[in-house]
Structure 1
Amino acid sequence: MYLQDILPRMSKLYLGRIVDSFLKDVHMDTEEEMREVILKNIDEFQNKERVKRYLDFSNEQRDVSLLNEMILMALMEKEGYILSESELYKEVEDMENEMIKLGSDDNYINRFIQKDAKRIYSSVLDEAWKKDESLNAHEINILNVLRNELDLSKREHYLLESRIGRFPRKGNVLHTHQQISRSLINLQTRGLILRFREDTSYYIIPKDIARILRYEMGGELRNEVYAALLGDLNVTQLREILNNLDFSASGVKEVLVNRIIEYNILPSTALKVFGSKELSDILRNLEGTKISGTKKEKIQNIIDYYETLSTPTSSDPTDERARLYDFYESLSARDYKTLRINKIIEKDVQVDNYFEEATRYIFDLKFGLNLMEMEGTRHADGKVKFSSTEVILWDNKSTEEPYTFPDKDFKQFLKYIRSDKMRVTLFLIVVHDYTKEAVAQAQKLKAFSDADTDVALIKAADLAYVAEEWKKFSDQKEPQFNLQVFNMTGELTRNMLLSRMEWALKGSQMV
């Protein structure tokens, strides 16, 4: 979920922590004021340098710093970067227990950490910890430099710490729930995770910053996505990975894939087995990826490609249009890479048709409205009845850049409005994003319509949000969608839609 999807679910206390993370000396009395100021400053929230700055935990106490990393790692391994509070506590405990278990396994350590790297790093690490009960910022920096030189991951650092009785705490003692709670608050005040409550409490890394965070922390792939990567390798390559780490390489392809995942062979570790040329060959089969670069960069490019993969499961297996709806924003933004990786499109020209089909799915299945047939081939992308004498038309415009509402579209839409046999009370334009000029054009189209037709611009992300959330605003046992939610001229922002759903979907207000 994006930040704007999460904000309406958050209470004042947790909204305040976000505000404090990137806006200082700003006082607001209400939740609505907080949401508005956060959205107005969303560019600062998404700023890469801000995220990188707050990912520096070197000045925090050891327990807070370590738990911050554990919590973020746990969230990054989940689809949607989200966990309930109870799940998150368990994930952190399980991760700490696993590190201790694997750290004490000599065979595992010898397989995954090169002998000289282990000897050198362990000696420096042991010496750093002898001084007192913590590592200062200078010592942490030296260890980071040494890790990079020896090509060791942060996970391997933790494994070696556990072998000298220093992970997660002295004597390999696990962190308490109270300590985890303190780190959860710390991460919220840094604007790295958000907390909201529905049936239970949830913690989430907003999609706005998830990719930045994953890169900076060297995040690996979720198992289901990792399995897709391994499935694209051939049997010889899978056996090469297992042989290189002294694991059994017998069995059919499915067995080999499962064994690699079962033995916690990380994607970066598996791909290190291949030479630079073979990594380039793998990248050539991954459309849109950069092939050149160092071996480390090529490995990261492969991981990045598969990170873009979504779950192959459709949100509604009974309707083939649901898979298009699952990638609605990507279709609206012509995100060809994501669409091709997830096998949504085979050709670029399919984007427009699929964007239109996904929108029809929303009005048909999500809103429960009857779509009206339109004569001929030159007409709007969709039409629904508003009243006995009025209709609503909509049109989809997918663009890589914000939609500008060019004159050719103005003329096209004006023709659609004027040629319909019924009065068009609203013409809705669905886009990925739009410019201020587009909003002005919408006002102009209303004036030229000759029928006082409202013309509204709505982002695909916001239309999908309404599709998922509108029933929560209704007080009816069997909710019915009210098109008054969209019936205005200008831009249908998230806040505007929330306001209109508040009054338009009550039973007494239905028209």
Structure 2
Amino acid sequence: MYLQDILPKMSKLYLGRIVDSFLKDVRMETEEDMRDVILRNIDEFQNKERVTRNLNFNKEKRDIALINEMILMSLMEQQGYSLSETDLFKMVHKLETEIVEQSKDDDYINTAIPAYEERVYSAVLNESWKKDDSLNEHEINILNVLRQELGLTKRDHHLLESRIGRFPQKANKLHSTKQIERSLKNLQSRGVILRFKEDTSYYIIPKEIARVVRYEMGGELRNEVYESLLDDLNVSQLKAILHNLNVSIGGKKEDLVSRIIKHNILPSTALSTFSSKELSDILKGLEGAKVSGTKEDKIQNIIDYYENLSTPESSDPTDERARLYDFYEELASRDYKALRVNKIIDKDIKTERYFEEATHYLFEKKLGVETTDMKGSKHADGKLRYSSKETILWDNKSTEQPYHFPEEHFNQFLGYIRSEESRVTLFLVVVYDYTKEAVAQAQKLKAFSDQDTDVALVKASDLKYVAENWMNYSTKKQPVFDLQVFNLTGELTRSMLISRMEWAL
């Protein structure tokens, strides 16, 4: 979820923690003020340097720093980087327990960590822990440098710490719920995770910063996505990965994939087995992936490609258009890579038509508004009955760049308005984003319509927000959507739509 989708579901306490995490000496009185100032400063919120800086836990107490890592690793393994509060506690305990159990398995350790690296790192680790029950910042920095020089992961570090009875706590004791709660507050104060509420409380890494968090924490890919990458490799390539790390290469393809996952071999480590040419060959088979660059660039390109792979089940199996609606924003922005990977399109030319179909689904199924059939082929993409004598028309324009409302479209829309038998009270243009020029064109079209037709521009993400949340703004037991929400000229921004829903519904 993007930040703008999460904020409306957050209360004042948790909004305040975000504001404090990246804006100093700013005090807001109302929740709406807080949401507004956060969105106005979103560039600072998602700034890579800020996120990276706030992911450095070296100055925190040992338990907070460690649990911070466990929380983030648990969230990164989830579709959408989100977990309910209850499930998050369970996942942290599960992750800690798994590491403790694996550390007791000598065969697992011998295959997971090369002998020389284990011996050297364990010697320094043991010495660091000898003096007392904690590590100071200097010792942590030395261990981090050594770990990176030896090519070990943070998980390798935790496994070796567990073998000397220092993970998660002394004598391998798991962290308590209260300790996890303290870390959750710490991560919120750093602006790394957010807490929101629907039917229950959830914690989430916002989409704007998820990629930075993933790489800084060494997560790289969720297991289910990593399995997709490995499934696309052939048996010889999988055996080469395992052989390079002195792990057994016996068994069928599914055994090889399972073994790579089990031994927590990072995608970057697995892919580094191949030459630059071999990586190029892999990239050539990935639709839309960038092939050029250094070997490290190519590895990163492969990982990024698969991170964008997401195949959730349709939100409504009873209507095939629901699958299109699920990828509404990708259709609006012509995100061909995501659309192809998720098998939404097989030809780019279908994007516009599918965008239209998804919008029909949105009005009919999500807003409960009946669409009207239109005769012929020269007409707007959709028509809604506003009143006995008035109509609403809409048109979808999917573009890779913000929509600027060209003169060609101006004339096209003007023709649609004037050819309608009933008065067109509103002409709605649905896009992924728009320019200031487009807003001026909308106002001009209203003036030229000869019937005082309102012309509004709305982003697909904001229209979808209305579709998903409008019932929350109604006090009626059986709410009915009022199309008056959209009836104005110019920009239908998220804040404007929320304001109109508050009084219209």
Q: TM-score normalised by the shorter chain: which range applies?
A: over 0.9
Q: Which residue of 1 aligns with 2:465?
A: 465
Paired amino acid for 1:249: G
Paired amino acid for 1:145: V
Counterpart of 2:51 in 1: which secondary structure?
helix
- d(CA) in 2 for partners of 1:268, 1:95: 22
* Contact 1:332-1:432 at 8 Å conserved across structures: yes
Q: Which residue of 2 aligns with 1:207?
A: 207
Q: Which residue of 2 aligns with 1:246?
A: 247
Q: Which residue of 1 aligns with 2:283?
A: 283
Deviations 1:29-88 (A, max 9, x none): 111111111111122112222211211112211111111111111111101111111111
Paired residues for 1:164-175 under 5 Å? 164-175=164-175
Q: Which residue of 2 aligns with 1:347?
A: 347
Counterpart of 1:371 in 2: which secondary structure?
coil
Count of residue pairs brought into register by the alignment:
504
Deviations 1:399-453 (A, max 9, x none): 2222222222222212211121111111111111112222222222212211111
- d(CA) in 2 for partners of 1:353, 1:187: 43
Deviations 1:70-111 (A, max 9, x none): 111111110111111111111111111111111222211111
Q: Which residue of 2 aligns with 1:400?
A: 400
Structure 1's unaligned 5+ residue stretches are 506-511
Deviation at 1:194, TM superposition (A): 0.6
Paired amino acid for 2:251: S
* Contact 1:279-1:299 at 8 Å conserved across structures: yes
Paired amino acid for 1:136: N
* Contact 1:242-1:249 at 8 Å conserved across structures: no
Paired amino acid for 1:455: V
- d(CA) in 2 for partners of 1:239, 1:136: 41
- d(CA) in 2 for partners of 1:353, 1:281: 33
Q: Which residue of 2 aligns with 1:72?
A: 72
**2:13 paired with 1:22:** no
Change (3 A) 1:151 1:246: closer
- d(CA) in 1 for partners of 2:158, 2:115: 17
Paired residues for 1:13-412 under 5 Å? 13-242=13-242, 245-247=246-248, 249-251=250-252, 253-254=253-254, 256-258=256-258, 260-262=260-262, 264-412=264-412
- d(CA) in 2 for partners of 1:414, 1:27: 47
Counterpart of 1:458 in 2: which secondary structure?
strand
Identical residues among aligned pairs (%): 70
Deviation at 1:241, TM superposition (A): 4.2
Paired amino acid for 1:399: T
Paired amino acid for 1:436: K
- d(CA) in 2 for partners of 1:380, 1:144: 60
Deviation at 1:282, TM superposition (A): 1.7
Deviations 1:205-248 (A, max 9, x none): 11121122212222132232222222212233334445555346
Q: Which residue of 2 aligns with 1:489?
A: 489
Counterpart of 1:349 in 2: which secondary structure?
helix
- d(CA) in 2 for partners of 1:310, 1:72: 20
Deviation at 1:299, TM superposition (A): 3.0
Deviation at 1:290, TM superposition (A): 3.1
* Contact 2:111-2:263 at 8 Å conserved across structures: no
- d(CA) in 1 for partners of 2:259, 2:20: 46
Deviation at 1:292, TM superposition (A): 4.2
- d(CA) in 1 for partners of 2:295, 2:401: 33
Paired amino acid for 2:232: D
TM-score using structure 1 length? 0.93
Change (3 A) 1:292 1:133: farther
* Contact 1:243-1:249 at 8 Å conserved across structures: no
16-25 or 281-290, which moves further after superposition? 281-290
- d(CA) in 1 for partners of 2:471, 2:494: 16
Change (3 A) 1:362 1:225: same
- d(CA) in 2 for partners of 1:249, 1:275: 23
Paired amino acid for 1:147: R
Change (3 A) 1:292 1:435: closer
Q: Which residue of 2 aligns with 1:479?
A: 479
- d(CA) in 2 for partners of 1:419, 1:272: 62
Counterpart of 2:348 in 1: which secondary structure?
coil
- d(CA) in 2 for partners of 1:318, 1:265: 40
TM-score using structure 2 length? 0.94
Deviation at 1:329, TM superposition (A): 0.9
Deviation at 1:367, TM superposition (A): 1.7
Paired amino acid for 1:344: I
Deviation at 1:389, TM superposition (A): 0.8
Change (3 A) 1:306 1:51: same
- d(CA) in 2 for partners of 1:473, 1:312: 28
Q: RMSD in angstroms over aligned alpha carbons?
A: 2.0
182-191 or 49-58, which moves further after superposition? 49-58
* Contact 2:112-2:264 at 8 Å conserved across structures: no
Deviations 1:143-165 (A, max 9, x none): 22222222211111211222222
Q: Which residue of 2 aligns with 1:508?
A: none
- d(CA) in 2 for partners of 1:441, 1:476: 37
Deviations 1:273-310 (A, max 9, x none): 44444333222211232334454443332222111011
Paired amino acid for 1:85: E
Q: Which residue of 2 aligns with 1:435?
A: 435
* Contact 2:279-2:298 at 8 Å conserved across structures: yes
- d(CA) in 2 for partners of 1:406, 1:41: 30
Counterpart of 2:427 in 1: which secondary structure?
strand
Change (3 A) 1:101 1:210: same
41-50 or 256-265, which moves further after superposition? 256-265
178-187 or 34-43, which moves further after superposition? 34-43
Q: Which residue of 2 aligns with 1:452?
A: 452
- d(CA) in 2 for partners of 1:149, 1:504: 62
- d(CA) in 2 for partners of 1:50, 1:447: 46
197-206 or 220-229, which moves further after superposition? 220-229
Deviation at 1:461, TM superposition (A): 0.6
- d(CA) in 1 for partners of 2:260, 2:156: 18
